[in-house]
Amino acid sequence: MINFDFASLRLIGLSPAIANQLHALAANFTEDTTLQAARISEIHRESLVLHNGHISLQARALPRLLHDLAADELSLAVGDWGLLSGTADTNYQLIARMPALTHLARRDNEGRLQALASNIDTALLVMGLDNDFNLRRLERYLALVQAAGVTPVVLLTKADMHAHAAAREAEVVQRLSASVPVFAINGLSTSTAELLSPWMSAGQTLILLGSSGAGKSTLTNTLASSRQATGSVRAGDNRGHHTTTARTLHQCPSGACIIDTPGLRSLQLNLDEGALSASFADIDALTGLCQFRDCSHQSEPGCAVRAAIDEDRLKNYQKLLRETRRNQQSPLDKIAVRSKWKVLMRSVKERDKLKRS
């Protein structure tokens, strides 16, 4: 059995659903009198920092737990809830992880899953109105969070420094689904916290996602009771430096908590075609109106999608669809595709050689 200080744990994101899962998890460790619920707030190479609602505690994960997670292609992430055993004298150990209610992960360059964060309610997608402005990248972030069942909110930062902030905001609204809130903000202004109050009630967990220099750490300082280091962008191209180097969980005065993240150099999605279609709901809705049932929206006559959807948005969807199909291929499928292309290239070379001769 495990005792909960619900009021304190709520300030780091505890909800009734999470409390029920933790109680069920603790039923497997009834003999451990030092058991307590805690949430991962930082992950270091050799240790973890967890918060129990009152203080932060340093611990190590039980090797068996890490082995079991790796077998399921999982790993610990900031935002995970679990059971902590031990005392300050005997050292703390994370002995169990609660299955995440929501989980954000991406594929690395070698195709392996990399955990970003767990148990997130709202993702604040941060994009600067300077040279950071990139609608294709924003759509990629949207696909990531919507596939995980996380509510997206788009924040266009540095509005106080951009003469055409309102026009840029209108451009984003027109491009995206009407269900996604979009705000042009000044990350240093206290009014930003008031603007985001509907998503920042007690027990809520938010995450900041965006590229380096977009203003994520500045927003964290504005919204949370913490002081993250911030940095300027490069003068030449407005590219940001990696001021934030690790994912960290912070408490907010409103009772919510927020996870700040480093800028992602690349974001390879881990989702299937159905999840991608749900993120591009406008394209999915029009597909049934095309003249051909298997329309690829490329050059077929009677394509309802090409007639109604922004050309760049459609191209981005098609690019993400190719990536999704490639990521879903088994190793044998990938070998077969490579073999097919080798045969085709060989035949093209032979044809060219015959023409020259």
Residue 283's domain is classified under what CATH number? 1.10.40
77 in a domain, yes or no?
Answer: yes
Structural domains counted in the chain: 3
My answer on whether 214 and 121 are in the same domain is: yes
Percentage of the chain with pLDDT > 70? 92
353 in a domain, yes or no?
Answer: no
61-70, 222-231, 320-329, range with the lowest pLDDT: 222-231
My answer on whether 191 and 293 are in the same domain is: no
**Rounded CA gap, 184 and 66, in Å?**
41
Residues 273-290: what's their mean pLDDT? 89
pLDDT tier for residue 353 given thresholds of 50, 70 and 90: confident
**Rounded CA gap, 264 and 231, in Å?**
16
Token pair, residue 165, equals 């902030």
Beta pairing class for 103-107 and 56-61 = unpaired
My answer on whether 109 and 256 are in the same domain is: yes
User: Does residue 263 carry a pLDDT above 90?
Assistant: no
Could you tell me the end-to-end alpha-carbon distance of the chain, in angstroms, rounded to an integer? 83
User: Does residue 124 carry a pLDDT above 90?
Assistant: yes
Domain closes at, from 44, 79, 97: 97
221 in a domain, yes or no?
Answer: yes
My answer on whether 224 and 135 are in the same domain is: yes
My answer on whether 159 and 251 are in the same domain is: yes
Domain closes at, from 204, 233, 260: 260
User: Does residue 241 carry a pLDDT above 80?
Assistant: no
Quick one: 45 exposed, middle or buried, by C-beta within 10 A (0-12, 13-18, 19+)?
Answer: exposed
Domain closes at, from 64, 97, 130: 97
Residues 184-207: what's their mean pLDDT? 92
45 in a domain, yes or no?
Answer: yes
My answer on whether 123 and 254 are in the same domain is: yes
326 in a domain, yes or no?
Answer: yes
Per-residue model confidence (pLDDT) at position 268: 81
303 in a domain, yes or no?
Answer: yes
User: Does residue 243 carry a pLDDT above 60?
Assistant: no
My answer on whether 65 and 137 are in the same domain is: no
**Rounded CA gap, 173 and 344, in Å?**
43
My answer on whether 205 and 277 are in the same domain is: no
My answer on whether 112 and 207 are in the same domain is: yes
C-beta separation of 101 from 79 below 8 A? no
350 in a domain, yes or no?
Answer: no
My answer on whether 84 and 111 are in the same domain is: no
pLDDT tier for residue 53 given thresholds of 50, 70 and 90: very high
Residues 194-199: what's their mean pLDDT? 94
290 in a domain, yes or no?
Answer: yes
My answer on whether 216 and 304 are in the same domain is: no
C-beta separation of 156 from 169 below 8 A? yes
Q: What is the CATH number of the domain that holds 206?
A: 3.40.50.300
My answer on whether 206 and 330 are in the same domain is: no
Tracing tokens 């600067």 back to the chain, one arrives at 128
User: Does residue 150 carry a pLDDT above 70?
Assistant: yes
Domain with 50, as residue range(s), is: 6-97
